Amino acid sequence: MTDRIILHVDLDAFFASVEQRINPTLRGKAIAVSGGGKRTVVVTSSYEARARGVKTGMTIHEARRHCPELIFIIGNNNKYIDSSVKIITILEDFTPLVEVFSIDEAFLDITACQRLFGSPEIIARLIKRRIKGELGLTCSIGIAPNKLLAKLASGMEKPEGLVMIRPEEIENLLDRLPVEKLCGIGDKLAKHLSLLGIRSAGDLGRFPEGTLTKRFGVIGHTLHLMGLGIDENPVVPYQREPEAKSVGHSTTLERDISSEHQIASVLWRLSEMVGRRMRRERFSGRTIALTVRYEDFFTLTKRRTLVRYIEGSQEIFEGAWGIFQSIVHRKAVRLLGVSVTNLSHCQQLLLFEEESKKLRITRAMDRINDRWGEFTVTWAGLLDRSRGKGIISPSWRPEENQILTG
């Protein structure tokens, strides 16, 4: 079998770059994209901001301390999804084997299309030129014999990078590569590995596989292969991706709350978001999970599996609320999350007219909300509760010193 040729395409500072393209006055400036609200963090920042020390995950205040003139933008997912779809369409002009890894990253298997377009470098440059020309965005591309190394390569010379890792260079490269640079090895794993004397990817590759397996279980084998730069995982086009396994939403509240009334209202909202997405994607599920994070950041998740499959917001809410009430809460609540797992695509048989009617109304509401945005139409109970005093403001509400674009 001939070696594969895999590309990893990674957009540079994607959200921030999209904002700078839409609003030219932001170009060349330090900007950060974040959610609305006080308790948000930096999701992406422009390279101008990064140069000043702004990093993903920083609080607004921390980021501003590093860079006082930093301009905050409230993220707008629709803009990013729109650009992302256009990028994927461009990539598919080169090969049908496009794996969408995230909203701003994709893998391409171009093993079979060199005769059509030329060498891997030529293909990478064509992709860069088209994304730049059609969307005004830059990206970094890694070229390698597999996904693990292609992803590594794309990150080596950001932004606007183009790095190729040839088979004969792998060993040398891994020898001087800190092990945590490999995708899949995070802080904790890196710490455990360093206790075994493993610092570089090369160390990992030379380490006895049996010891790794004994220490880390099933991932021991994968770790061993990673250390050798081996990754046989194929590029999986999104059309062949497995079904989703869970649907969930969570929100950090504007301030910590203890009132059951307020908590119920937030759970209503989250249940409605989850239910609406499930219905849109024709899922039902039978395990409801509630996540509660308290003011001291202690976080717990409790699940409850039902006898039958559900898809209605009301049933999801009742499940989540039931779980909430079964817990003794000693502290104020900071975050609430609702998710549904154990998903199935089967349609439920509707036995009762009442049920069927409710479902039709629900579906109609979904269509309106899909067109006009979240909570344009909603259950009376939700509306009522949302009007009360002290209710959490929706995350998209702009704040002072924040620029709204589009």
Is residue 95 close enough to count as binding DNA by CB under 7 A? no
Task: Note if 209 is an active site residue.
Answer: no
* Per annotation, catalytic residue among 99, 105, 311, 315: 105
Is residue 59 close enough to count as binding DNA by CB under 7 A? yes
Binding positions for DNA, 22-41, rule CB under 7 A: 35, 38-41
Among 183, 264, 332, 391, binds DNA (CB under 7 A): 183
Look-up of token digits 């990674």:
10
- Separation CA 177–CA 50 (nearest Å): 23
Is residue 217 close enough to count as binding DNA by CB under 7 A? yes
What residues contact 93, with CB distance under 8 A and at least 6 apart?
A: 130
Is residue 236 close enough to count as binding DNA by CB under 7 A? no
Burial of 341-354, coded b for 16+ CB within 10 Å and e otherwise, reads bbbeeeeeeeeeee
Among 170, 335, 365, 382, binds DNA (CB under 7 A): 335
Q: Which amino acid is at 60?
A: I
- Separation CA 140–CA 336 (nearest Å): 36
Q: Which of the ranges 80-88, 194-202, 217-225, 363-371 carries the binding residues for DNA, by CB under 7 A?
A: 217-225
- Separation CA 299–CA 250 (nearest Å): 12
Is residue 386 close enough to count as binding DNA by CB under 7 A? no
Binding positions for DNA, 277-296, rule CB under 7 A: 277, 287, 296
HEC string for 239-279? HHCCCCCEEEEEEEEEEEECCHHHHHHHHHHHHHHHHHHHH
Q: Give me the sign of the Cα torsion angle 202, 207, 213, 214.
A: negative
Q: How far is the CB of 396 from DNA (least distance, A)?
A: 11
The distance in angstroms from the start CA to the end CA of the chain is 50
Q: How far is the CB of 184 from DNA (least distance, A)?
A: 5
- Separation CA 37–CA 396 (nearest Å): 8
Binding positions for DNA, 133-152, rule CB under 7 A: 151
Give the total of residues touching DNA (CB under 7 A).
54
Q: Which is nearer to DNA, 39 or 125 (CB)?
A: 39
Q: How far is the CB of 306 from DNA (least distance, A)?
A: 8
Write out the two tokens for 189.
Answer: 């794993």
Is residue 337 close enough to count as binding DNA by CB under 7 A? yes
Among 21, 215, 304, 358, binds DNA (CB under 7 A): 304
- Separation CA 130–CA 128 (nearest Å): 6
Q: How far is the CB of 277 from DNA (least distance, A)?
A: 6
Q: Which is nearer to DNA, 86 or 304 (CB)?
A: 304
Binding positions for DNA, 96-115, rule CB under 7 A: 101-105
How many other CB atoms sit within 10 Å of the CB of residue 68? Answer: 9
Is residue 43 close enough to count as binding DNA by CB under 7 A? yes
Write out the two tokens for 61.
Answer: 């205040």
Strand partners, 44: 33
Q: Which is nearer to DNA, 92 or 256 (CB)?
A: 256
> What does DSSP assign to residue 96?
S
Among 96, 133, 184, 390, binds DNA (CB under 7 A): 184
Active site residues: 105
Binding site for DNA (CB under 7 A): 35, 38-41, 43, 56-57, 59, 61, 65, 101-105, 151, 183-190, 217-219, 242, 244-252, 273, 277, 287, 296-297, 300-305, 335, 337, 339, 342, 395
